[in-house]
Structure 1
């Protein structure tokens, strides 16, 4: 049986393609404007079908027919973390997605986006096109899925839209749960330990190896894989002191007041998960693009052993044992594993570029679940 073909738009470093390729789909075109991300995609799936450039510049004549189209138009314009500007040009890139649908005529298309996407004006415009416009031959299913419910060791909520002209396709049902009921057939959530347990806790280097490879006629750092991206940062002594007080599942409120930066001392309420520590036996929080900054979320390594107690203003602070606790953020390698990339996945770019690729990716386990749901409908 001929394997179904697919196009990946806004492909990033290939997380979504990875999940669909695992289920037998063959990529025939990928478009990604970030050249480092496009190079990472090319390192893993081949350069010959990759366009590293602006999707608006891709001519109709080079768009091949495909059975499936996947992709996630950039979400920064209406993300809960950003400004909701209707005139943000990034919000209009979904129109390019529709142009590709009209040219490639896929049997099915899949859109992945932020959890609030279904409440956005752009989503309403998309549904209008399905009801009475260019996409009127397609039926939509949509909803918010949690990657942890599909075997990913990360709680990451994303809106998934499936459009089909071969019969309505419902979203996949969870395969995992936090506390599965007996007889439900569901498996327990995968944990941080499942993915990064056993890795070296104290990486020897703070840098990527020296390596350069050419992609799209340009020399780029890489290709790196596995322990190549398992490098550490060197925090200041004050930062290490702060980290040492944070237990698994804890955060900035566990740090003694006198050690907090002024902005946090003067804001006793608000964000709770910053400077947080992961838990070994639970999925991680969402891995974002700046996971290497502890002030951005719960990114401290989960290994922590209490050391001593002291009382301050009627509060008891428990400090981690510096000989047994791992007071650092997760490495790029650990973050990639929590994003469900395989250990031998290949990476191209600078440290910051690779972190951005990891944080922006679709966990392949979530993509695989969608691919398994879609595959039986494609002739």
Structure 2
């Protein structure tokens, strides 16, 4: 398998668990590439702009999610955003590696984008993907053992006959399955002072899971707000005297902001700023604090054996941007018989 726009390796983690062997990974962010290398080896990783990578081996499968900020509901949805053109680099790799199948992951808006329409057009006679059949759809991570209501678009391309998307695998797990048993009060607020060398560069790391159980130093006002939020609640549960002016004057809007999880339900989508309760439903289901980096990684189903490189902010980005490994394993296991 080849992993493009590999990030820290969430998708690779799932495919390796299902028996696949990575032969190439491409990632332009140094800290994410270092995390990938720490877990899967440095020899097959290219820390580079994907447009500059020309040594492309053959592979059975190509996986990856071209950056999606232009498609995302959270972004400007700019069709001319150069990040939206990176899927064309993905196609270059498909043409060179000739995989039996490929998997593209993106935000669900991708399926309604101009780029996806152009991708479909390339499967017509004479197109770059004329011998591939596309199967697009949306998968919900909670349907595949991930304690998170994370909804993403997936496109399976195949030249060995149509491959459907996997079917939902079971009941939704609650956050209790991964959050229980961790200390209420994290022992530290900063990562240990250590560094490691990858690609000839020194980066912070390697950090173990226990190093990621990081607390914050909230103000007295923030603590008062946290205490006022019930399980499953959010900013609309705050009394007027605890509301910041912008929320007091805006009675409508996102309901998950300053939200608290429920023990026996999946979390909402873990994004890159999960350590900020004002950004989403990121309060611990019981304790009066936001979830830690370790708890976010567990909600994404990263194993505790996974190692991390980068600053707190960089690691948070890696966690929030990743494909949950358990979802990737379900995809890989589903693909294998077709290959």
Same-fold call, TM cutoff 0.5: yes
Q: Are 2:120 and 1:159 equivalent residues in the alignment?
A: no
Which stretches in structure 1 are left out of the alignment for 5+ residues? 1-5, 177-187, 304-325
Structure 2 partner of 1:225: 208
Question: After superposition, where does 1:338-377 map in structure 2 within 5 Å?
Answer: 338-377=299-338
Structure 2 partner of 1:309: none
Q: TM-score normalised to the size of structure 1?
A: 0.88
Structure 1 residue runs of 4 or more that deviate by more than 2 Å after TM superposition: none
Q: Are 2:195 and 1:212 equivalent residues in the alignment?
A: yes
Question: How many Å apart are 1:259 and its aligned residue?
Answer: 1.1
Structure 1 partner of 2:244: 261
- Alpha-carbon separation, structure 2, partners of 1:89 and 1:117: 15
Deviation string 1:75-102 (CA, Å, 9 cap, x unpaired) is: 0011111111111100000000000001
Moved more, 188-197 or 87-96: 188-197
Question: How many Å apart are 1:116 and its aligned residue?
Answer: 1.1
Structure 2 partner of 1:311: none
Q: TM-score normalised to the size of structure 2?
A: 0.99
Q: Are 2:8 and 1:47 equivalent residues in the alignment?
A: no
Structure 2 partner of 1:128: 121
- Alpha-carbon separation, structure 2, partners of 1:125 and 1:81: 23
- Alpha-carbon separation, structure 1, partners of 2:150 and 2:3: 21
Structure 1 partner of 2:63: 70
Structure 2 partner of 1:308: none
- Secondary structure of the equivalent of 2:205? strand
Structure 1 partner of 2:257: 274
Structure 1 partner of 2:94: 101
- Alpha-carbon separation, structure 1, partners of 2:79 and 2:236: 36
Question: How many Å apart are 1:53 and its aligned residue?
Answer: 1.2
Which stretches in structure 2 are left out of the alignment for 5+ residues? none
Structure 2 partner of 1:150: 144
Deviation string 1:188-241 (CA, Å, 9 cap, x unpaired) is: 211100011111110111011111100110111000111101010001111111
Kindly report the root-mean-square deviation, in angstroms, between the aligned alpha carbons of the 2 structures.
0.7
Q: Are 2:26 and 1:31 equivalent residues in the alignment?
A: yes
- Alpha-carbon separation, structure 2, partners of 1:77 and 1:32: 19
**How many equivalent pairs are there?**
338
Deviation string 1:323-362 (CA, Å, 9 cap, x unpaired) is: xxx2110000000000010011100000000000000000
